[in-house]
Amino acid sequence: MYPDPKISQITRTEGLPRFPRSVALHLNTYQDKMSFLAFCIFLTSALTIVSSQFIPPYTEECRSGMYPPQGPTFKGAVTWYTVDLDLPPNKRWAALMSEKKDDIVNMIKVIKDLATAFVPSGKLIDFVDKFLPLVVDTLPYPFNEELKGIASSSGVPLGEVALFNLFYEVFTVCTSVVAEDADGNLIHGRNLDFGLFMGWDIKNKSWMITDKLKPLVVNVDFRRNNHTIFKSTTFAGYVGMLTGMRPHSFSLTVNERFSLNGGYIGIIEWLLNHRDAMWMGFLTRSVLENATSYKEASSLLSQTKLLAPVYFILGGNQTGQGCIITRARMENLKPLELNSKQGRWYLLQTNYDHWKKPLFLDDRRTPGMKCMNQTLQSNISRKTLYDVLSTKPVLNKLTTYTTLMEVSTGKLESFIRDCPNPCMPW
């Protein structure tokens, strides 16, 4: 078993920091003074968040009795749709998009408003509308054709549909857990957190992008020859996969990995015609669609060259089949596997390498592991894993949905989430 983490207590810092007089003397213009004030507010906020992260009510005792989902953290079950893989790629998403096009338009509007706030001239949006459609033509089949079909069905310009899809390569912040119960059955769960630093709504104390994403969360049954190939929880309009399961074979979730050699570099290389790497979302979609075993999925996720670093959390259908695949763009770093004999009956991954301490501003690992250790292997189930994923700050203001998967039964269920105030922003 993992050692029971000790949650440190951090003393709250009161007031604004005092700066030397020499700094203040250089604040000659109004803009200088406002920038300095903004810095002070940010620094104070950061210190307050660090102070609060391990102090109630921003954290709490491990939750219990949360399943079946109910109460203020539960905003509804996710609706199921079917995507027929036998259809031409540009027709596959038409039925779903006809229902969700207004929600996508609302989501894109928020993105455009945020972009305009950074570049008031409107040139950034012009760039998206004129240049990104050209990028779509460089993407691999069938994903390029699916994006064109989504744009046609929704009425959203192709460049903006492409932007919506590229966001998930670089902005996903999550918690994933794969666990083995006392009978050797694998259970896989995740919180999908998205929208960090993308428009904080001061009035509602929430992230604008996160709020607009929740109506877009859908469960999809991907079928071929009228037979389920894989299931996924995703966002309408996104053709890659962040959460999915091939029934009776394996389950898969994706967490962002922060790295200097990150997704931006890979995207720039792609734009410069260096296209020997795979888009993360397209790889996971291909693995779920085509791999037929845990071993094959693990091999593909470990060895394929990627545009962006990432964590793949993979679960199987036999004892010991669970791993964290920590990917640099070119290699697999320090893979970690389940091993109940060594006490490692679960693996919990947030957005930091498992062999390093998490960032002090964002430690979801410590409270998550504390709750898993309190649960015990003898009691782990979809029900108790939902309790862990419902405990602050594992549940936070960025959390859009929680998914629970059980490969042996083919069960996938997802729920829209909310974290009522007071709650950590991330």
- The residues carrying an active-site annotation are 174
CB atoms within 10 A of CB 235: 26
Q: Which two tokens stand for residue 153?
A: 């069905």
Q: State how far the Cα of 220 lies from the Cα of 218, in Å rounded to an integer.
A: 6
Q: Which two tokens stand for residue 39?
A: 């810095």
Q: State how far the Cα of 168 lies from the Cα of 400, in Å rounded to an integer.
A: 13
Q: Can you give the three-state secondary structure of 285-352, one letter per residue?
A: HHHHHHCCCHHHHHHHHHHCCECCCEEEEEECCCCCCEEEEEECCCCEEEEEECEHHHCECEEEECCC
Q: Which two tokens stand for residue 43?
A: 């620094």
Write the CB contacts of 74 (distance below 8 Å, at least 6 apart in sequence).
415, 416, 417, 418
- Sign of the four-CA dihedral 354, 358, 364, 367: positive
Task: Kindly calculate the radius of gyration of the chain based on its CA atoms and give it in whole angstroms.
Answer: 22
Phi, psi of 353, rounded to the nearest 5 degrees: -55, 135
Cβ contact 403:234 at 8 Å = no
Write the CB contacts of 105 (distance below 8 Å, at least 6 apart in sequence).
154, 155, 156
Q: Which two tokens stand for residue 56?
A: 């109630």
